[in-house]
Amino acid sequence: MFRPQRCAMIAAAAAACVMTALPAHAADTIKIGLITALSGQSARAGESLTRGMTIAIDEINARGGLLGGRKLELVRRDDEGNPAKGVLAARELIYKEKVAVLFGGLDTPVSMAIVPIANQEKVPFMGPWAAGTPITHNGANPNFAFRVSAVDEVVDKAMLQYAQKAFNASKPGLILVNNPWGESNEKGIVAAMAAKGGKPVGVEKFEANDVDVVPQLGRLKAAGADVLLMVGNVGPSAQVVKSLDRMGWKVPVVSHWGPAGGRFTELAGPNARNVHFVQTYSFFGTPSPVSTRVVSDLKAKYSDVKGPDDITPAVGVANAYDATQLAALAIAQAGSTKGDAVREGFYKIDRYEGLIKTYVKPFSPQQHDALTENDYVWAQFIDNRIVPVKK
């Protein structure tokens, strides 16, 4: 006797058997989270991180993905440069989206707010921009924070050396944003100067929303500063330049890389070109096979990219691209997306021919920063292009 219900049950059971015979995660994506400024004055930098990660993810997926064919998926959240919003985004990406690796974005205060959560929840954190030394030097054991970017204490030494070499400066004055990033660099610059038997002629702070920095600059001028060492993001750094214009004070400005993060030339005016700032990469110069491929991929994917001029800020693209490739290698080494295994996977990376450089054992339990002072270049704005300073 034909029994439709019984046949349906048998068919369902057979389908279930087939399904259980398949790899459990064959179709699951591996989510990579990005928390960064996607709006406001630094949106261009957030977009550059997105593009660098996207190009790397496309390459990895085209090669067949990871862990037996699982594709990578980028999940983004806008922190608006606000630590509280960054923390909310981190919790959502960790608890709801179950990201395998969490990428922090631009701002040191945001990254410093997120890293304790990553350490607590054992989710690897990768920093492709924010340079605050305590992000990776955070005292946690085990430490889940890694970085492919500049590091303040190293940049600070480089800024001082560059000011002395390029401008023969002997009396630096410090003009710094009043937040943890500024504090990190104040410590680093003062230590770098003390190691050479010197100290700043003055240290002045400004708020992120200040529109007039003349009083602070006036005090540094009166103290005899012959160079300004500047640390601040796009908006406030532009106000420093405009305040110098109002004062008529033509003093060299050597900066951390904050001005590269957005609409600096638009906000600062024609003297934006007088600011020399640190970078970790430039697409100008003799291309490598990796850079040739990345530029080609960017041109194919983004209609506004016609060549190196349009890849800006370059450090965002380059740092994020290499960081994503290294994170993928860590997952592959781990054979898993479990946090502890991926953290150990970073230490097992032997060699990777990247965009910025060829990385050889870039991470160890004692070293969570893949770039060194040898990987920095100095740049300036010419028109709206970030180009290396001509020596």
Instruction: Report the Cα 210 to chain-centroid distance in Å.
Output: 24
- Euclidean distance between CA atoms 217 and 237, whole angstroms: 12
pLDDT reading at 66 higher than 70? yes
The answer to whether 39 touches 105, Cβ cutoff 8 Å, is: no
203-227: average pLDDT: 96
Q: Give the angle subtended at the CA of 56 by the CAs of 335 and 320, to the nearest 5°.
A: 100
- Mean pLDDT value of segment 285-300: 94
391 class by beta-carbon count within 10 Å (0-12 exposed, 13-18 middle, 19+ buried): exposed
Torsion sign over Cα 93, 95, 99, 102: positive
Q: What is the DSSP letter of 71?
A: P
Going from N- to C-terminal start, the domains of the chain cover 30-150+286-372, 153-279
Helix (H/G/I), strand (E/B), else coil: 104 = coil
The whole-angstrom separation of Cα 153 and Cα 133 is 6
- Using the predicted structure, report yes or no on whether residue 224 has a pLDDT greater than 70: yes
- Strand blocks (E) in the chain: 30-36, 72-78, 101-103, 125-127, 145-147, 172-177, 202-206, 227-231, 253-255, 275-279, 351-353, 358-360, 377-382, 385-388
Strand (E) or helix (H) holding 180: helix 180-194
pLDDT tens-place string over residues 1-26: 445 444 444 444 444 444 444 444 44
Tokens of 166: 């390029």
pLDDT for position 391: 64
**Which residues, in sequence order, are bridge partners of residue 382?**
385
Model pLDDT, residue 2: 43
Torsion of CA 276, 254, 265, 39, to 10 degrees: 110
pLDDT tens profile 139-166? 999 999 999 999 999 999 999 999 999 9
What is the CB neighbour count within 10 angstroms for residue 271? 16
Residue 387 in this model has a pLDDT that exceeds 90: no
**Interatomic CA distance for residues 145 and 122, integer angstroms:** 10
H helical segments located in 223-334: 234-247, 264-268, 289-301, 314-334
Q: Which of 389, 158, 162 is nearest to 273 (CA)?
A: 389
Q: How far is CA 126 from CA 70, 236, 334, in A?
A: 20, 26, 16
DSSP-derived 3-state class of residue 100: coil
In this prediction, residue 40 carries a pLDDT of 83
CATH classification (class only), 30-150+286-372: alpha beta
Predicted pLDDT at 121: 98
**230 backbone dihedrals φ, ψ, rounded to 5°:** -115, 140
Nearest 5°: the CA angle 325, 387, 296 is 45
Quote the distance between the C-alpha of residue 285 and its chain's center.
22
What average pLDDT does range 229-234 have in this prediction?
93
pLDDT computed for residue 27 by the predictor: 57
Give the mean pLDDT of 248-254: 97
Top-confidence residue, 385 or 154? 154
Predicted local distance difference test score (pLDDT) of residue 258: 87
Q: Which of 16-20, 223-227, 264-268 has the highest mean pLDDT?
A: 223-227
| Least trusted range by pLDDT, from 37-41, 136-140, 195-199, 295-299 | 37-41
Lowest mean pLDDT: which of 40-44, 150-154, 217-221?
40-44
pLDDT of 367 reads: 97
Q: Are 176 and 295 in contact (CB under 8 A)?
A: no
Calculate the dihedral angle through the C-alpha atoms of 379, 380, 382, 387, rounding to the nearest 10 degrees: 10
CATH class belonging to 153-279: alpha beta
Q: Quote the CA–CA distance of 261 and 6 in Å, as a whole number.
A: 65
pLDDT, average across residues 187-212:
95
Q: Whole-structure pTM over 0.85, yes or no?
A: no
Distance CA 332, CA 314 (A): 27
153-279: same fold as 30-150+286-372? yes
Contacts of 296 (CB under 8 A, 6+ apart): none
CB atoms within 10 A of CB 216: 20
**Average confidence (pLDDT) over 229-255:** 95
In whole angstroms, what is the distance from residue 272 CA to residue 182 CA?
Answer: 21
**Per-residue pLDDT at 390:** 80
* Nearest partner of 236 among 256, 264, 215, 217, judged by Cα: 264
